[in-house]
Every structure is written in C-alpha cells, then in structure tokens.
Chains A and B, each alone.
Chain A
Amino acid sequence: MTMFALETVSYRLLSGRQTVAYPDGPAPALPERHGGALRVDGSKCSDGCAACVSVCPTEAITVGANDAVALDVGRCIFCAACVEICPTGAITQTNDHRLASRRREDLILGSPGAEEVRLAGELDERLRRLFGRSLRLREVSAGGCNACEADTSVLGTIGWDIGRFGIQFVASPRHADGLLITGPVSQNMRGALEKTYAAVPQPKIVIAVGACAIAGGPFVGHPEVCDGAAAVVPVDLFIPGCPPHPLTILDGLLRLLGRLPEEPRRAADRSR
C-alpha cells in the first residue's frame, strides 16, 4: 500500500507538467503524414479535368459550370485520394490543424477567396459571457464509430486537460449548456437525440464533430442515417475530420468560446 502511494506521488512530482502548453504556447505539430486542412485553388484546375471527382469516396467534390471545382470539407474524410490524383496541385494539404467553422457553407472550398475553410468566430457576446469560462457539454454518439468519441474524450486526459478552460462533459442533458454530437445520426438514434436536445435548458449550443456528424461521412446517403446532426437539430459549430485530431477539436471549442489569441493563418514553424 505505502509502496505505490509513495511511488505514484514521487512519479508525479518528477514527471512535472504533462499537459500540452497550447494555447499559451505553440500548438503541437500534427503527425507528418496527417496533412491537416485542405486548400483548394480552383483557378489551377485544368480544363475538363474531374479526376478528383471520380476518386472521392464520399462524393465531396463537384465540378460545376465553367469547371468550377467545389470541395465540401464537411463531407470529406481526408483520405487524400484527391490530393494524390490532382495533376495540377489544385488540391493540397496545408498541415494546419484548424478546420472548425460556424456555417456549413464556410466548409466549401475552391472558389476565389474561398480556397480554405473560413474559420469559426466566437459566440455572440451574450452567449460568450455565459459559456466563455464554463461550458458543460452532453456528448451524444448517434451512429459514431468510436473514433470521434475517443478523440473527444481524450481531451479530458492529462495531456490536454480541457477542464482548465472550464469545459466539461456531463452525465445529463439537464446539467448541460449544449450537445456535442458524433456520428451520422442513425435513424435508430434520431428520437433519442431529439429528446436529449429538448432536455438541455435554453440557451444551448450544438457542436457537430467529424465528417459523419456534419454530412454522414462514409455512410452519406444511406437510408439508415440522417446524413448528419443538422438534419435533426440546429448546429452552431462544425469540426471536420475522420476523426478530427484532438487538437482540431480543441481549437474549435476554444475558437467558439473566444479563448484563442489572434494568430496568423499558418505559423511559420509548422509550414512544410
């Protein structure tokens, strides 16, 4: 008994702080093969080329009139098939972890001025005052594959410690300020999600995490799913990825709460 008690205490003292310095310090780099956010420069597309359209597993890319390419990063599962096949470098990986957006249309990339995700701004003043330093979320997995769930719950471990921002996942919708939804919302979970949403007191916010919760992910178009949370409840924040890296989820939450310092689009030390 005493053995492990002494050991655990001394170990903790010797290991020191194990929580990431971000956001006060620099953000940790994404894994080098991750690729991060996509950038789509439609002006680089060659005439009549639709190579990316035919390889995309979730039909996230469309080519409209005048060969205008549009990549819906909310629908994207980041398999990079389009990046690999694009002959002109119109679709590239930026290694940027930031992807969260407030509006669904801000995730459509390709047209001039919309090459990258239009990142989320903070909540309006009233909600930011309410939730900015204390946000309690009820997580609802509605057809999620347990990857978005895992990389959400990892934020509670000592490596990320979202408790330091006043963010906490709670056991009841009655204790919550909002929902964090993962999964495409299966038909069999639709009712439970509606009831959970209704049980959260006003005012409330909804965060959709991952390709499934935004647009259905690999299951988009299946009659067994609703193609995302927005079909059932109003969504205030979309965090793309399959699953989004924990850093991407954290960035989205802090962005919403206005807890991030102003920063350039890509820090010089992380551009590759």
Chain B
Amino acid sequence: MPEWSGEELVDVTAGKLARGGRLCAWFGVPEGSRTRLVAVVAVDADKTLAAARSEPLLHSYPSLTLRSPQAHLFEREVWEQHGLVPDGHPWLKPVRFNHGPAEAREFFRVEGGEIHEVAVGPVHAGVIEPGHFRFQCHGEEVLHLEIALGYQHRGVERALLGGPHRATRHQIETAAGDTSIAHATAYAMLIEALAGTEAPLRAQWIRAIALELERLANHAGDLGALASDVAFLPTAAACGKVRGDFLNLTALMCGNRFGRGLVRPGGCHYDLEPARTARMSEALRAALAELDRASVWLWSASSVRARFEGTGPLSSAQATEMGLVGPAARASSLPRDVRFDHPAGWHRFAPVAVSVWPDGDVFARARVRWLESRRSGELLTHQLVAPPAGGVRAETDRPAADALAIALVEGWRGEVCHVALTDAEGSFRRYKIIDPSFHNWIGLALALRGQAISDFPLCNKSFNLSYCGFDL
C-alpha cells in the first residue's frame, strides 16, 4: 500500500467520495510521535472497498471535511485522539472528552432577542442511555440542535490494543450491547481474515440467523416505541411483548437474550440442532404474525399517520452528504445495505432485498423498519429449514503479523465497520470500531431543524441511535 502525504491522501479520498464513495473509516495510527492516517472508502455500486494510508504526519494536514462533510466527525476524533489538526475544519471540538471534564463544552449559539436555548440530559426521562442535547429555539421551532456525547466512554478501543486479550470478545460484544451479534460477527470475521481461515458454513448460517433475529427484535421494539410516543397503545403494547419474543429466540440459540457468547472467532459456540430449529420456526411464526398484526393497526390509524408524516424530514441529498447508513439512510431513499452491497458470510447465499422509502421523515423510518422486518422474517423462515451440514467451529491461528483487515456487517442500525492493524507479533496495534451511530447522529440533528421541539422524542426514537456504540 503506498504511503501518501497528508494532502495526497485527502485528495485521493475526496476524489473517491466525489465519485459515489462512502467514508467507512478515517482514523489515526500512532507512529512514534507522529500519526499515520488510514482511510476506508466503500464504493457500493461497484461492490468494492478501497483503503489508503498516509505517511506518518506531524501537527496538521488539510481538512477532508471541507471537501466532503461526511468526514466531519472522523476528523474531530483523530484530532481528539492524536492531536493531529485538520486545517480548516469548520467545527473542531472533542467527540468523547477522553481527557478533561465533560462539562467543558462550547455549543453553537444562535443569537437574537427571542432565541432561547434548551438543554436536555445527560440523564434522560426514560430507561435509556445518557447524552446531551442543546437546542437553539425560536418559540417552539428548533433552529439548530447540537448533540454532545461521550458520557458512555469506557475506553473500549484503548483496551483492545495489544490484544486479542481474554476480555476482548466480551468488550466487543458490549461495545453496543443491543448490537452484540453484529459487532461479534465483525470481530470474528477480522480474526478469521487475519488468520487466513473461514468459519464453517454452518456457523455462518447460524450467524446470519442470529443477525436477522437481532434486527427483528430491535425493529419490533422501535415500532412499539414509535407507537408509544404518539400514544398509540395497541401497537406499543403488542410490539413491547413481541420484541421479547424475538430476544427469547436468540436465548433459545445460546442462552442469552442478546446473543452473548454465540459468535466466536472460528465459528459459533453452539450448534442449532434440528429439534431446536423446529422449536424456533414455530415460535418465529407466531411472533411474526403478532408483529404483522400490530403493524397493520399502526399503518391504518390516521392519528398515527398525522404524527409520523412530514415530521423530522431528512432529504436524500443530506443523507448522502453526511454519509448516513442503515434504515435512516434507506428511509431517505438511499439504497445502501451491506448485506446487498458487500455481502459476506451466509448473506452471500441468502440475498436480502434492500428496503427503501422516499420521504426521509419519521413515517419513512418506521416504514423501512417494518419492510425490513418482513424481509428478515422471510429470510429466517426460508433459512431455518435449509441448514448446511457440517460442524460449527474451526481452529483459528494467531492473527498474521503486520496486516490490515476490514469487516463490514449490516447491523440493525446500519453498517458496523471494524478495522484491525496488527504488529510484528500479530497483536492489535490499532483496532477501530465504527458503530452505525457514529455516522447517523448528525442525521438526527439535521432532521430536527425547523421542527417543533415537542417532536424531538418522536424524531429521536425514529433514529434510535446508540450512545455507547458511539462513545466506545
């Protein structure tokens, strides 16, 4: 891989992004007192990934954000973690407050006699994770929302250095604990790639089933939560229960409702035997029927449509510019889905159609979840009766030395991207995790512009992003 200068790397990356690429990762790797930049760009239309690196840099380089806004947060992160300044970055401030107090924040302010500011969080009203929202309002109308995170920072990436350690797999599984399967699968794929092995097909089949169950549980939960936020209780109550039914199906596979311990480098820890598959199929059919029924109520209620339609709109141009992923991007009509664009594992053999909706509002984000749930349900129904033969575990060697590996998995919130670089001993010298929420929080901020502040909970729920997956 050639070593570009900082300017050249920014140039070549900006060029790739301008031709329809998407920035999956942009991070620093310490090289003594200098920092090497690494870029990963996905060109979905070609089903290709491109990676590039800079020479070790000191002090600064010309900001990529000026040419491609989707780099804005990546460059802030590099600056916070390594002190490398992206010259000309329009809003350079910390991302997670690794150092110093979380209170030391300067917020963007709108000036004016009738402008008022609303501060919410970090502790929120519900049973949810912490984050801070700062609204600039004119009356009810939100002119600007700035989202300040970092409260959940647990030092995940720092702890992964020098690994894999005994705790590594568990730290990956809890990087975003409602996305354990997607993150564990990305990790397993990386280790397998670095060791030059592949998990047995039957293990890949089990991983795909677990991944779709994770998607179903969370999409069902989100549909219920959205219904709850507009006080439509029939769907809220039914979806709250059916979400648990899907989690229990994951628990049937491995004992844990969030799939902990199931996916491991080299394969899966548990087999999915015929008798268990039969039990799963039966329970799945019932849960899907309940989800279907509860969704039909939701779509046929005019009171729901009145609250969902036109609320929190995000244009496809905005979603493209900011590099959004997952259901939030697809609800703004962007047909991007790792399962389709960059299929890996069992999804190579069990393709899933990409679910899109044009309008980019709360309705669209709810609708995409529903469409995806149906397609995940169909995939599971078909796959459960057609298991590949063989074992579920393969031996994996130690990761190769001085190597780079990239894994993409379509988690329920969107693209989960893991990048590992190993040292001369095959240990991690850098392990980068990009949860889909890292791309998408800015989407929520943009969707709120011009909206009533009272619609914030509904808009927030329609994105339902991870705090810990962002904060790491």
Chain A interfacial positions (CB closer than 8 Å to B): 1, 3-4, 7-8, 11-12, 18, 30-35, 55-58, 77-80, 138-154, 156-159, 169, 171-173, 183-184, 186-189, 191-192, 196, 217-219, 222-225, 242-243, 245-246
Contact = CB atoms under 8 A, between A and B. Distances in A.
Contact of B297 (A4, A145, A149, A243): A4
Contacts of B300: 1, 3-4
B122 A189 contact: yes
Given A57-B167, A145-B176, A192-B122, A139 B127 contact: yes
B155 A147 contact: no
Contacts of A157: 237, 240-241, 243-244
A223 B154 CA distance: 8
A188 B102 contact: yes
A210 to B, nearest CB: 10
B4 interface: no
A252 to B, nearest CB: 16
Identify whether the interface residues of B are mostly helix, strand, loop, or mixed: loop
Nearest to A31: B251
A225 B102 contact: no
B19 interface: no
A57 B152 contact: no
Contacts of B243: 154, 157
A34 B255 contact: yes
B82 interface: no
A153 B225 CA distance: 12
A222 B466 CA distance: 21
Given A4-B296, A169-B126, 9 more contacts: A1-B301, A3-B300, A7-B293, A30-B255, A186-B154, A188-B151, A219-B154, A242-B174, A246-B244
Nearest to A93: B255
Contacts of B170: 57-58, 77, 79, 218
7 contacts: A4-B300, A4-B301, A58-B170, A140-B130, A145-B178, A146-B178, A158-B237
Nearest to A145: B177
Contacts of A188: 96-97, 102, 150-153, 471
B204 interface: no
Contacts of A149: 127-129
Interface string B250-280: 0111111110110000000010000000000
B286 to A, nearest CB: 12
B132 to A, nearest CB: 9
B122 A158 contact: no
Given A146-B468, A147-B174, A31 B241 contact: no
A11 B180 CA distance: 34
Nearest to A222: B155
Given A57-B166, A145-B176, A11 B293 contact: yes
B171 interface: yes
Interface of B: 96-98, 101-103, 122-123, 125-130, 150-156, 158-159, 166-167, 169-171, 173-178, 180, 221, 234, 237, 240-241, 243-244, 248, 251-258, 260-261, 270, 293, 296-297, 300-302, 466-468, 471
A172 B121 CA distance: 11
Given A140-B123, A146-B178, A146-B468, A223 B155 contact: yes
A154 B244 CA distance: 8
Contacts of A4: 234, 296-297, 300-301
A185 to B, nearest CB: 10
A158 B154 CA distance: 33
Contacts of A219: 154-156, 159, 171, 174
Query: Would you list the 5 A-B pairs with minimal beta carbon distance, nearest first?
Result: A145-B177, A33-B255, A171-B125, A157-B240, A224-B155
Given A149-B127, A157-B240, A34 B256 contact: yes
Contact of A31 (B103, B240, B248): B248
A219 B155 CA distance: 8
A192 B258 contact: no
Contacts of A146: 128-129, 176-178, 466-468
Contacts of A246: 244
Nearest to B234: A8
B261 to A, nearest CB: 6
B274 to A, nearest CB: 16
B129 A154 contact: no
A84 to B, nearest CB: 10
Nearest to B250: A31
A51 B355 CA distance: 49
B153 A186 contact: yes
B46 to A, nearest CB: 35
B382 to A, nearest CB: 25
Contact of B261 (A79, A156, A159): A79
Nearest to A28: B248
Contact of B468 (A33, A78, A145): A145
Given A8-B297, A33-B255, A171-B125, A191 B102 contact: yes
Nearest to B293: A11
Contacts of B253: 33
A219 B175 CA distance: 10
B255 A31 contact: yes
Contacts of A152: 127
Nearest to B249: A31
Given A58-B167, A171-B125, A196-B123, A143 B154 contact: yes
Contacts of B293: 7, 11
A148 B260 CA distance: 13
